Chain A
Amino acid sequence: MIELDSITKYYGNYPAVTDISFRVEKGEILGFLGPNGAGKSTTMKIITGFVPPTEGTCSVAGNDILTNSLAARRHIGYLPETVPLYTDMTVSDYLEFMGRIRELKGEHLRKRVDSVVQICRLEEYFDTFISKLSKGFRQRVGIAQSIIHEPDVLILDEPTIGIDPIQVVETRELIKNLGGEHTLIVSTHILPEVSMICERVIIIHEGQIVAVDKPENLATRLRGTERVEIDVAGPTREIVSALEKVPGVESVNRKNSLSDKGYSSFEIEAERGLEIRSELAISIVKNKWDLLRLEAVGMSLEEIFLRLTTTEDATQDGENLGIEEVSNNE
């Protein structure tokens, strides 16, 4: 549905995006993740045809975005990150206008306006001037505008920013439901959001793709170490030295003490692929310490994100990413 082939974009001499290629299949929800200035918005502007790429080609629904621009644009619904709205118009006038320039008319247009107003919970503000809406409601009008013509392809640049938590949940539901018939690209800073709504994630950093995978695979692939958390009562120093002797263990860190009864939490990292939990338990029991909890923990998306975008060799070698340590050891 969407196809980018070695897209490069220079703003003057500054490369905002370098050599990006990927495909998005029909019905897929793709997450776009990256720190500020990574080039997410720039890539989206290229896909929507607003910014022409310096090099490379991009097509939407089989139409090249430069040479067959109008045809490509007919397939696209777009919410830019600035949420552009005509502040001098009422919500209903605005939505009607946006529908009209997307080639809706008459009865169908009216139905679509009513429908998106309902979907985005804007009924109360139907005749309010946009200049009088709060940030969150403007965001909703922006989303409403992007889906009014039921586009095949939806490009949403940080769609949940500025929306209250309840509405955020609803908006994510909405986005998820749009997948299937629509093809979506959603950019965001909010990492859990990606695993909630996206089937595939592209992590982009300094204008380059550093990882592409399913959110859950990303976690396993990057987990260079197995990690276990335990709560134990006992003398800290002895516990640490005993556990460090367990084969495969690379580091033991005391995280915090649980106020009553002398329990403390420890975080243990071990070589990749090793199952050390039983060994740990045996060692603790042998020393007659009280074991309250023993749990293997995966890496959160936040940590993956940090590793991918803060390690030096992140862009060179995706496979070794997890082995680079960031800041867990003392």
Chain B
Amino acid sequence: MNNTLTIAWKELKIYFQTPTAYVVSAMFVVFAGITFILNVIGTNPEATVRSFVVPSSIFYILLAPLLTMRLLAEEQKLGTLELLLTSPVRDWEVVLGKYIASLVILIATLAATLYYVIMIYAFGEPDSGPVMSAYLGMILYGAAALAIGMLASSLTSNQIVSAVLGMGTLLILTFIDTLGSRLGGVTGDIVLEISMRTHFGDFARGIVDTSHIVYYLSIIAIFLFLAVRSVETRRWR
């Protein structure tokens, strides 16, 4: 665990010393702000976070891969992975440490959007339950998106390729629900279940369903596991 935290800390330091995280997070907060304002000045403003949380979750398609693209790809490019993997550090500690660092940045970014929540509380009387469940959902959704980004980053030494891979995968996993509802029947249901968006709706409406939590945790586990395996096979290449 010590190694994991050491690696997480090192990555956080680099996040704070380089512009990528600032730029990406700022874009996210601004995007959430725009959807927030659109709701406020719209014909039928609601005192809920749903209005900006749902579109923001779509923005994860860009945010997550941009945050994770460097993490493992650059280690391979610089050759530093060779030093990490010849140190007394387990492969999963490397992957998990880096993942935790990206998660911290994501949560910090979400914390910045609380500004809009404060505005809602200042000018309306929202239900606190849905606000909290929405943020729980946002964290889980984001964490799953980052895990997908980690796998993408482990597969290549090129950050751009890693970002594109991550965005492509997220794009499919997000919008596959439209295909699901078209198909109908059992296949359609299965496809719907796979979509990351399907599982987010309830959180935004204030419903915390264990099955949704399990879904996101499974995505995290599967993709991190694959990322660890991918790092392991780096040795054989």
Contact = CB atoms under 8 A, between A and B. Distances in A.
Contact of A73 (B79, B82, B88, B236): B88
Contacts of A87: 78
Contact of B88 (A80, A86, A102): A102
A98 B14 contact: no
The A interface, classified by DSSP as helix, strand, loop or mixed, is loop
Nearest to A94: B10
Interface string A64-87: 000000100110101010101111
Interface in B204-235: 235
B13 to A, nearest CB: 7
Interface stretch (A47-55, A192-200, A279-287, A313-321): A47-55
Contact of B78 (A48, A84, A145): A84
Q: How large is the interface on A (under 10, 10 to 19, 20 to 34, 35 or more residues)?
A: 20 to 34
A166 interface: no
Nearest to B77: A84
A70 B92 CA distance: 13
A84 B6 contact: no
B150 to A, nearest CB: 18
Contacts of B236: 52
A73 B86 contact: yes
Given A70-B88, A101-B3, A85 B14 contact: no
B44 interface: no
Given A52-B236, A88-B14, A100 B6 contact: yes
Q: How large is the interface on B (under 10, 10 to 19, 20 to 34, 35 or more residues)?
A: 20 to 34
Given A84-B78, A86-B80, A87-B78, A97 B10 contact: yes
B69 to A, nearest CB: 14
A86 B14 contact: yes
B7 A89 contact: no
Contact of B86 (A76, A89, A100): A76
Nearest to B79: A84
A124 interface: no
Nearest to A102: B87
A263 B144 CA distance: 84
B6 A80 contact: no
Contacts of A49: 85-86
Contacts of A50: 82, 85-86, 235
Contacts of A93: 10, 13
Interface in A38-70: 45, 48-52, 70
Contacts of B104: none
Contact of A85 (B10, B80, B88, B235): B80
Contacts of A51: 235
B89 interface: yes
Interface of B: 3, 6-7, 10, 13-14, 17-18, 78-90, 235-236
3 smallest CB-CB distances across A and B, nearest first, come from A84-B79, A84-B80, A48-B86
